[in-house]
Chains A and B, each alone.
Chain A
Amino acid sequence: MRGMRVGAGLTLAVIAIGCGRTAPPGMLVGESEHFRLYVDPDAIVPAGLDGADGLAALETAWTDVHSMLQMPGGRITYHLLSPDHVAAACGEADEGACIWESRLEIDSPTIPNAHELNHAYMFLRKQRKPVPFLAEGIAEAIACGPDLPMFITNVPWEGIVGQLESASDDVYVQGGVFVRYLIRTYGIDAFLRYYEQSPEQRDPALFAANFQAFWNVTMDEAWTASHTLPPGMVSLGETKICPCALPPLDPGGAVPNDPARAPYWVLPEPAGQTLSITAPAAERVVIRDCAGIRPQLTGKAVLARLDGAEPRYVLPPIQAATVGSYLADDCASVAPYVESPLFTVAGGVTMAVSTPLSSVTLYVQLATTFSGVLRGGFTQVCADCGFDPGACPLITPGTRPSVHGPLYGRVTLHRSTALLTDLASNELDIDAP
């Protein structure tokens, strides 16, 4: 979310105090171990996050990020405000949200605001003021959510590390890219050691010398690496890092959606088995990797066999999750998939398996009765596991044959060796006739 700036500079704090800043509007909802929550009567409260659930959401966020940042205890005052009141609370008209570090107070129209919370966590770790490039970078580095991946172009770093956060979005965007690169490359512990000894002066030369002294890598080398893919590789972009420290998805059927306590679920890896995840009506399943570098999986439903793959998480809402041998290496082992494959509004069934190979052939059993038009996904369909070439001819690419369930389908999933993915995937798309 852009425009979230650290309004925490000493200058602003002094101005605010000097001007007799009044407390933001809102009623105290309650206190928990790490938060004191006030909610503005005009605030837009998301479903499932009102009242005590708001506090629970904040504590959930704390628990999750604590697995990475290991911040000490403290209590953050959180004001959930209407967008109109945020500007007044933050002291600047274009402020989207802010933190007052000296008071450990967050003023935000959203809850939980990962960006401002990250600022607070880092301040709890060590009360210092690294350059905005790094401070905004770490605030933009950690979150689990629907942010779209971006591929950020390379621009000279020298002008950015000396900038104020208000100067341009580069401090946020480029800072986020760079900090995420450092965390992914060297680990969070090394990054935190670096962050907490980094210069507080916005001086490009000092920043570069300090960087080289700490990492034994020049700033030029690291900057180029953070903006460059390995030769021959293609990326769809990268996004924030999710700690993935919350409980895994229980694939036991219907899934209760509780955004306060389960803002996402880590995907379990049942050995050799396939996860089946289905979204509610008019929604889509969104599965992302925790590191934020892999293409996301999305569809009305997802069949995923992820053992050995990079850790992933799925965002709510989810209607149901089950586990079974839905994607099998041989037809005899396939378990019946009983969801209707007719998803005419919100996409098809995304099928994905982790594999070191460039392609893998699997079998699926669509166990429901239906009639539809196969738009893509299977290379051959058959009424039984025989897959007799005479009775079950190969489907010519580009054709849209009519299909009738129940049926068995054979599918060859491809993994692009150039795309930064560890999965072979395909989308089964069966439309209504």
Chain B
Amino acid sequence: MKTSRASLTAALAMASAWFGVAPARAEGVDPPRLFLQVAIGPAFNFERWSPDGGSPGASTTGWAPALNLAAGWRARPRLVVAADLQVAPVVNRTESYRGGSYELADTLHVVDTLAVVADVTSWRHPRFHAGGGVGLMAATEVDTHMGSTATNLGVALLAQAGYSRPLARGWSVGAMARLTFYRFGSDQPAPPSTSVGLLPALLVTFTR
């Protein structure tokens, strides 16, 4: 019976989030157990590429729009555990290679992460929260001119901290800084190589 009520609550919360018809809640009322977050903002990517075999490596930098979707539940009153999907297509990166800079024109370097995130809200300052997560990542190279794509898989760690304030209907709006660290390898084309990257992002968040 208790389980059924929790399921019903979660379903209603999901429906209210989906349709946006939940009644307004006053600040201080316990938030629903279901946690939903949409975040968007600019991200900057720095990545270091190191091939096996002694050839010189390279580093790349570039800007990306980052989109973040998270869904989970509030395991404790101030602890959120969520599955977090982040998509950041870095547009036309600049490569630094042996002292020169080369724009990788008409390319996208899409850094996707799928992580489990734990986020804790401060007891003393309930509008502040911070957390981190671990997960998988996929780096996809897209040549928008030639049409070629290549995807490699790796792991990601992320840390985040943010501020939010209630908006309406159970939603809150805020800002969040997130730093994603990732690492992936590639076997094709030869030689095998390893890439490590940082993806700091400054996101506007909409949370329920």
Contact = CB atoms under 8 A, between A and B. Distances in A.
Q: What bracket does the count of chain A residues touching chain B fall in?
A: 20 to 34
A159 B55 contact: no
Nearest to A160: B102
A199 B98 CA distance: 19
Contacts, number: 95
Contacts of B148: 128-129, 200-201
A132 B143 CA distance: 12
B95 interface: yes
Given A129-B146, A129-B148, A200-B150, A208 B55 contact: yes
Nearest to A166: B145
B189 interface: yes
A200 B49 contact: no
B20 interface: no
B100 A205 contact: no
A197 interface: yes
A206 interface: yes
Contacts of B102: 158-159, 162, 204
Contacts of B150: 200-201
B147 A212 contact: no
Interface stretch (B104-112, B128-136, B173-181): B104-112
B53 interface: yes
Interface in A380-422: none
A78 B56 CA distance: 44
Nearest to B142: A201
Given A203-B95, A205-B49, A210-B190, A162 B147 contact: no
Contacts of A11: 144-145, 147
Nearest to B98: A158
A164 B145 contact: yes
A213 B104 contact: no
Contacts of B164: none
A186 interface: no
Contacts of B141: 201
Nearest to A135: B146
Contacts of B145: 9, 11, 164
Given A10-B147, A11-B145, A208-B56, A197 B189 contact: yes
Contacts of A159: 100, 102
B83 interface: no
B189 A199 contact: yes
Interface in A192-250: 197-206, 208-210, 212-214, 218
A355 to B, nearest CB: 45
A213 B107 contact: no
Interface in B121-161: 141, 143-148, 150
A200 B150 CA distance: 9
A203 B193 CA distance: 14
A164 B56 contact: no
Interface in B165-199: 189-191, 193
A278 to B, nearest CB: 49
Given A158-B97, A200-B146, A202-B143, A210 B105 contact: no
Interface in A119-163: 128-129, 132, 156, 158-159, 162-163
Contacts of B57: 205
Given A129-B143, A129-B146, A201-B141, A209 B107 contact: no
Contacts of A210: 189-191
Contacts of A10: 146-147
B58 interface: yes
Interface of A: 9-11, 13, 128-129, 132, 156, 158-159, 162-164, 167, 197-206, 208-210, 212-214, 218
Interface of B: 49, 51, 53-58, 95, 97-98, 100, 102-107, 141, 143-148, 150, 189-191, 193
Of all A-B residue pairs in the complex, the 9 with the closest CB atoms, nearest first, are: A10-B147, A205-B58, A209-B55, A200-B148, A209-B51, A213-B191, A213-B190, A129-B146, A205-B97
